[in-house]
Amino acid sequence: MDVDPQLPFGFWLIIENDGRKDEFVDRDGRRYATIREAFWTGRLNLPLINDQPAPDQLELMHSVLAFRIRSRASSNELANDLFGANHLVHNVYLDWLANIGLLARDYDERNPGGVTAEGHSVLLMLDATRPYSVRRERPGAPSIGFLAGLAEESIAGEARRQRIEAAAAEWDVAFVRREIGSNAAIVLLKRGDGRVPVLETVWSATFPTRRLRDAFYDWICSRADRWVDWSKVSRSIGGSELTQHLLVVLAGSLADDPSATIMPASAALTS
């Protein structure tokens, strides 16, 4: 079956009601409770766990595909950020994605991330069906369309930063620029879970100059798909652990491209 990378996986499914509930029916007549189940059991031939597809595994797949779409193949950064620097597990997982047809084994300039047409389609489906709570049905995180637009558009510098900050004002997790005393800073805001879910600061980094702050902010903004997961590091472990994690991920990105520079070593991070 030909796959349209602009349409989410499962667009061919038909919804039928058996008098009690809606079901998704594929072309072979197989029935599924959800589109994710159609992908998990129908496409991947994997068993349900507690009567549902494994949410953590689908989130990992979503993260890996999103990473590859918005970034050139960056094995060190991907392994450090998503696989705890375990390159063996990283390599096995990417080999599996290639074997099932979601990643290409050969890269070209038109598709530097190596995501296949079906991989694009699966990512759109996973993004559209992410199991956020009702409160997060708002734009709680950057969409794949937004991320793809950032990767393709020519806007850069301060105009790009302001565009991202304007969009991030609607998200439940956002890195934004601030001034803390006399220092230029980046802060991580996360919407709380109280009766009035206000944004609160859960992490901050200060820099001796705005130029250095904006350089690091550019690097963070190019990885907006990771913001939600990075916020979980800060809330579950602590701000200092997020600082350490970001430094490790940054080192991985530099290891993939030794000629790249983000900022002088004199930049100061505090959490």
pLDDT band at 197 (very low <50, low <70, confident <90, very high): confident
% of the chain at pLDDT higher than 70: 81
More confident residue, 254 or 119: 119
pLDDT band at 260 (very low <50, low <70, confident <90, very high): low
pLDDT band at 269 (very low <50, low <70, confident <90, very high): very low
Average pLDDT over residues 96-104: 94
Q: Residue 145 class from Cβ within 10 Å (0-12 exposed, 13-18 middle, 19+ buried)? A: exposed
Q: In this predicted model, what pLDDT tens digit does every residue of 8-44 receive, in sequence order?
A: 999 999 999 877 888 999 999 999 999 999 999 999 9
> What per-residue confidence (pLDDT) applies to 192?
78
Average pLDDT over residues 115-119: 93
Which residues are within 8 A (CB) of 107 and not within 5 positions of it... i.e. 6 or more apart? 73, 113, 114
**What is the distance of C-alpha 242 from the center of its chain?**
16
> What per-residue confidence (pLDDT) applies to 258?
54
Which residues are within 8 A (CB) of 167 and not within 5 positions of it... i.e. 6 or more apart? 142, 146
> What per-residue confidence (pLDDT) applies to 235?
65
Question: Among 73-77, 91-95, 242-246, whose mean pLDDT is lowest?
Answer: 73-77
Is 238 in a helix, a strand, or coil?
coil
Q: In this predicted model, what pLDDT tens digit does every residue of 201-217 receive, in sequence order?
A: 989 999 999 999 999 99
Q: At residue 49, does pLDDT exceed 60?
A: yes
Element spanning 216, H or E: helix 210-221
Q: What is the pTM of this model?
A: 0.78
pLDDT band at 191 (very low <50, low <70, confident <90, very high): confident
pLDDT band at 270 (very low <50, low <70, confident <90, very high): very low
What mean pLDDT value characterizes the chain? Answer: 83
Are the CB atoms for 187 and 115 separated by under 8 Å? no
**What is the distance of C-alpha 136 from the center of its chain?**
16
Average pLDDT over residues 115-133: 86
